[in-house]
Amino acid sequence: MNLERSPRLLDPLFADDRMRAIFSDRNRLEGMLRFEAALARAEARVGVIPSSVVPTIESQCRAELFDIEKLGCATALAGNPAIPLVKELTALVAQRGREAGDFVHFGATSQDAMDTGLVLQLRDALDLIESDLSALSGILAGLAVAQKKTPLAGRTWLQQAVPVTFGLKAAGWFSAVERHRARFRAMRPRILVLQFGGAAGTLASLEKNGLQVAEALAVELGLVVPDVPWHAHRDRVAEVATTLGLLVGTLGKIARDISLLMQTEIGEAFEPAAEGRGRSSAMPQKRNPVGSAVALSAAIRVPALVSVMLTAMVQENERGMGNWHAEWETLPEICTLTAGALQHMTQVLQGLELDVTQMAKNLDATGGQILAESIAMVLSANLGRPRAKSLVEQACRQASQQGRHLRDVLMENPQVREQLSSSDLDGLFNPSNYLGLAEALVDRALGSQSKKSHSDSE
């Protein structure tokens, strides 16, 4: 029996093997079979079916007993994989006991098995994402602390603006990651719930025992019983998709920052070097930001997939048609792409190489004009802000046109000499003296998260 396909050519680049295993065909099958085995145990506990049939049913709820390719062909005719799975499971159980075969999937519907199986997969997926996010958070926190005094050019609209610190940049990444971690924690209770409603959400086939069975089944699977079955209410799975979409957006932002800093003309940060990593097939000198490229590709692909999940929320009456089907491959792809991007960016940031010398060189690339705001702010104390700003703007244009340092141009201006001495200008043209609250903001970001973590543990 062919239980699982081999990895495709591009899987190692874009996918995380651990997440791919969670959403493999075999694991999808195992999720549904776990539901069927747990359902038998729950119904026996409530007294709906004989306890004697449970071992026989459980013994056949094993993925290795089923031919996935055969089930796939049957799915094309049935409309969902639970239908042929239950048929095959019933036949296997009946071979070992006719009475036991009568109680397979008792009172349930195919969507109960599929959605609950999906929730079990999502629980593993969330565990993986949250674990990796915790690791990434720790790396970013360390980077923010280590580099909180390291100045580099801050850039707005891709142009040099004023000096910042690399630690503040890392603290911004860290803070965003921490918000995602909070979202995942808050989301879990809404996601990890049982789907069990029978044909149309009433559990009519179980009569007065329906809720008792649901509660026993939830205990078996470690899930929560929702207030009502949610067959056609897809906000839960859509929330997973949108939350992953937000995370991928942040990973893409970090990747964009790093890839821009890695440009030849900037050269301030680099992805870790390794044999065969980021090399060009034609140009020996090339060192490409491969991890960032993967994260950016996910940031392009995932939003469109999230839109599918949001569109699929509009389902008909008690059970949807087509829109439910649209989720089956879409959500696993979102999870897989997100995990792949997260894994790549964790590796990138863990081995990130910084060129502090080049950062300092780039800070002076404009001949001191990156500090024009600091000069204008000091001059405005006596000249007024509009006049001071105009004076410095004119000096910047002159410096650019003449290819001179802004300090030299300013020293020739009588109005500036009246306000500032040569030593004053030396201090003003030191980037480390115009970092504002950068260092304090790093401490604030890390300290704020430390307080939240302590509060969460209480």
Is position 307 annotated as part of the catalytic site?
no
Predicted local distance difference test score (pLDDT) of residue 160? 96
Q: Which of 51, 131, 280, 421 is catalytic?
A: 280
Question: How does pLDDT run across 13-43, given as a tens digit for each residue?
Answer: 778 889 999 999 999 999 999 999 999 999 9
Predicted local distance difference test score (pLDDT) of residue 12? 79
pTM for this prediction? 0.91
In the chain, % helix, strand, coil (3-state, to 5) comes to: 70, 5, 25
Shared-domain flag, residues 315 and 423: no
Mean pLDDT for 123-136 is 97
Neighbouring-strand partners of residue 159: 156
For residue 329 the two structure tokens come to 């491959």
Q: Could you tell me the residue range of the domain that residue 41 belongs to?
A: 1-108
Q: Are strands 159-165 and 269-270 parallel, antiparallel or unpaired?
A: unpaired
Helix ranges (H only) for 270-369 are 290-311, 323-350, 356-363
333, 360, 387 - which closes a domain:
360
Predicted local distance difference test score (pLDDT) of residue 1? 38
Shared-domain flag, residues 176 and 287: yes
Predicted local distance difference test score (pLDDT) of residue 9? 75
Question: How does pLDDT run across 220-275, given as a tens digit for each residue?
Answer: 999 999 999 999 999 999 999 999 999 999 999 999 999 999 999 999 999 997 66
Shared-domain flag, residues 253 and 327: yes
Neighbouring-strand partners of residue 151: 165
Q: DSSP secondary structure string, 174-229? A: HHHHHHHHHHHHHHHHHHSB----TTTSS-GGGGGGHHHHHHHHHHHHT-B--SS-
Max intra-chain CA distance, the chain? 104
**Residue 343 clears pLDDT 90, i.e. is over it:** yes
Shared-domain flag, residues 66 and 30: yes
Closest CA to 47 of 201, 224, 220, 212: 212
**Residue 458 clears pLDDT 60, i.e. is over it:** no
Shared-domain flag, residues 280 and 332: yes
55, 85, 108 - which closes a domain:
108
Mean pLDDT for 83-93 is 97
Q: Is residue 104 assigned to a domain?
A: yes
Q: Is residue 349 assigned to a domain?
A: yes
Is position 45 annotated as part of the catalytic site?
no
Q: Is residue 213 assigned to a domain?
A: no
Q: Is residue 26 assigned to a domain?
A: yes
Q: How far apart are CA 327 and CA 305, in angstroms?
A: 9
DSSP state of 15: -
**Position 2 confidence tier, pLDDT thresholds 50, 70, 90:** very low
**Residue 60 clears pLDDT 70, i.e. is over it:** yes
Predicted local distance difference test score (pLDDT) of residue 3? 42
Mean residue pLDDT across the chain: 93
Q: How far apart are CA 289 and CA 271, in angstroms?
A: 6
Q: Which of 319, 380, 387, 400 is catalytic?
A: 319
Question: Which residues, other chains included, contact 174 with Cβ-Cβ below 8 Å and sequence gap of 6+?
Answer: 137, 140, 141, 143, 144, 445, 446, 449
Mean pLDDT for 169-195 is 97
Q: Is residue 189 assigned to a domain?
A: yes
Shared-domain flag, residues 273 and 385: no
Question: How does pLDDT run across 404-448, given as a tens digit for each residue?
Answer: 999 999 999 999 999 999 999 999 999 999 999 999 999 999 997
